[in-house]
Structure formats: C-alpha cells, structure tokens
Structure 1
Amino acid sequence: MKEIPRYPKTPRLSREQAEALTQIVFVDQKEFPVQSSYDLLFIFGGSHPKLWEVSAQAYIEGKCRQILVTGGYKPNVKRHSSWKYGTTPESHVIKWRLVEKGVREEDIIIEDRSTNSLENVLYAKEIFDFGKVRNLLFVCKSFASGRQYRTLKKHLPSYIQFTPLTIDIKLNNTQITRGNWMNHPGHRSLVYGEYLRIIAYGKKGDLCPIEQMIPGLEVES
C-alpha cells in the first residue's frame, strides 16, 4: 500500500464534509462511558509531555489501577521540541516521567518495540493479559483518536468498554482541536490525512472500518 503523507493535498471541503470528517477523525468523548475508576490506562506511544502529564494526573486521582505504556523508537520521526532522550524507546521515557510525577513503578507495564499505533496494540497483547480488563481508559492525541480507538476496538476483546482521554497539542504554533481544525490549512491537511488512513487501514483489517465514505471524498481501492 502506498504510504499516505502526513500532510496530503486537501480538496476544498464543504461544511457537511468538514462535519463528517470531525465525527470520523476525532472521537466525541460525550459518546463514551465514564467510570470513576478504570481497570487499565493505555498510553499510545509518543514524545509529547502531555501524554505523561494527563496520565499521571489520572492515576493520582484514582482513575486507574495500572498503566500500560507503549512505544519503541522509530528513526527519522519528528519529535517534540523537549525530547532529549536520543534513541531511548518512548515507553521508557514515559515511564520515567510517570514515576517522577508520583506513579508507583510497580503499577507501570511497558511495551517498547512498537513503532506505530497498530503495533502499540498488537505488541501490548503479547506482554499483557487483557482478559481481566472490563473498562479501559486510553490516552492519545485528539486528532489521532478516531484511528486509535478503532485500532483498539478491532484487536482487543469485545467486552471491554473504551473511554478516551484525549490531549490537544500545538501544530504550527496553533493548537489543533475537534472544534477548530478547519481554521488552519495545515490542520485541515493533517485531518484529511487521518481520514485517508482510517479508510486504508480499515480495508487492510488493521482497524474497524467506517460504515461509509464521505460523499465527495470517496477513495478508490
């Protein structure tokens, strides 16, 4: 399959198409169950400090009993400007920072070989038994939440209830959110690229596919 650029050329979008893209690419947290405590907090790998900041806060507030951190090291990937850890796997760094913020080391499990969202989930299954998990809180960037939620849903047991804990980050010095992504050309391109990935990965069986493509934004097989 041809690799989809991070910032593909984006067609002119109607208001209806933009609304449909929002629903597919960004999860709507209001549509998910909210628990006082979750069996597991799952962190999709990355280098942004917000990943460990919101995760540590959730743990300290008693929202999770264990934290499963995923992420290896992938060369030639742009990382957050604060990254100073060289080729250290992302999950190791996230674990260190979680411990610094008060998370007990024995409550953290790490998966350190994965280099993408699919591997985050598949390799996590190799080291962790999800059989006792009934509700799972997952931490991810908001613009990747639709794709990553569909990846979890595809590969983990159907009885697990998923709840997203999303973070909004800055791209091109402007925060990208579910409500403002249409206002910046770079953000529009990024979101459109996520839509293309969801379609392509759904066809491959990597994630749960969308029911139908957006009219006017159909993608050929």
Structure 2
Amino acid sequence: MLISELDADQLSDDQMSKLLFGGIHDDGQKGDCIFVAGSSKAVLYRLPKAVKLYQQGRAGKMLFSGGVKWDGSLLTEAEALKREAIASGIPEDDILVEDKSLHTVENVLASLLILNREFPLYKMHRILVVTTSYHMRRLHLSLQTYMPDWIEYTLCPAEDVYTAKDNWFMTDIGRKRVHAECAKLIKYVQIGALRDMEIDI
C-alpha cells in the first residue's frame, strides 16, 4: 500500500511498526560520509552510533546537521554534536557542520551545499544515515526526495529509550511519539513534500 493512502488514526500497532521500522537496516557497506540529523537528544543517542561507525572505518567524514538551539543552549544541534564528537576523539578536520536547518527536510536541503563543497556531490556514492530508528523513514525519504538520485544510503538507526522497534508500544510516551511520527510522515507524503513509496502492511 502507498504511504499516501494511509490514515494514521486507522493504523494498528503492527501497521505503524511496519510503516516506520520495516526494512530499515544497516547493510554494512562503507560510504563517503556519516550524516547525522540533530535533535534535542542527538548527543545522547545519535552521536555514539556515528562515532562507532567512524571508528569502524565506515566513512572518513562526519556531517552534523541541525540549527535548533534547545533548552536555552548557546549551541545549535550541530555545534553541540561537533563539540562532543571532538571530545570523543573524532578529528576536527573530519567533521562537517550544517547549522541553519530547523527541521528534517531542511537538514537535507541545507546539507547539499556543505557536501558539495567538501566532496563535491557528483563524486559522492553513498551516505551512512544516522538518526533514531522511529525517525529514519522520514529522514530517508527526505534524502531520496531532495538529494541527487545517484547517491545511495546505508541506514544506521540509533535507539533511544522509549521508541525502539521492540518497545515503543509499551509506554505512553513511545506510543505518542510513534503515532505522531506516522501522522507527520503520511501528511508530508500526501502534500507532495516527500516522495511516495509502497509499504507492505
């Protein structure tokens, strides 16, 4: 079934799981860059995954994307991620920063220029994508919609406490997040902001 044909309020738990988590996995391949989308908790949950991928030699560059400043912080999401990455031993020369974007599609759009200046884009083949698992479908579709179509993606989901594939339905906060994410995803596909795709539900 196409995402555009779905109604978030009519989906069962199993269908919501398939919509957000189905077919999301890391294929183990190397890439040109590790792309990390910022969030209020990205340093806690997404950064360790990205650092591990870098340390494994999966990519030689890391791009942190996000311009929001959370909880009165003086640092944007991307700047906070960079600071903690350096503290974790990542060389500053291997870190790229995009600190203007305010949401997922802007993460992708604003990163185009950063990536083009570094690589450039026509030489890129594969990006390792890091975000929390329940957000991965939307970020992946955003990349597929707005990035050049010759670039491939290796999906490397990070897990937070409440919204992992195997536990989101166990708590109210997990349920609320997953339902809200399903609703956003469906809405953005229906209005044409993201490309449509078939989901086996």
TM-score, L = length of structure 1: 0.76
2:27 maps to 1:33? yes
**Residues 152-200 of structure 1 deviation map (CA, whole Å, 9 limit, x = unaligned):** 1111122222111111112xxxx32112222223322221111111111
Q: 2:139 aligned with 1:144, yes or no?
A: no
Percent identity between matched residues is: 25
| Residue 73 (structure 2) aligns with | 86
Structure 1, residues 59-94: CA drift from partner, whole Å, max 9, x if none?
Answer: 1111111111101125xx6x6xxxxx7131111111
1:8-56, Cα deviation, whole Å (9 max, x unpaired): xx8586xxx32221121125334x5331x21111000123222222211
Cα distance change on mapping 1:57 and 1:209 into 2, 3 Å:
same
Q: Which moved further from structure 2: 99-108 or 203-212?
A: 203-212
Runs of 4+ deviating beyond 4 Å: 10-13
Q: Which has the higher contact order (CA 8 A, sep 6+)?
A: 2
Secondary structure of the corresponding residue to residue 167 of structure 1? coil
RMSD over aligned CA atoms reads: 2.3
Find the counterpart in structure 2 of residue 100 from structure 1: 87
- For 1:212 and 1:145, how far apart are their aligned partners in 2? 14
* Aligned partner of 1:155 among 143, 146, 149: 146
Unaligned 5+ runs, structure 2: 1-7
Distance 1:127 1:53 in 2: 22
Count of equivalent residues: 188
Would you say 1:128 and 2:102 are equivalent positions? no
Contact 2:76–2:99 (CA under 8 A) maintained in structure 1: yes
Report the structure number with the largest CA radius of gyration: 1
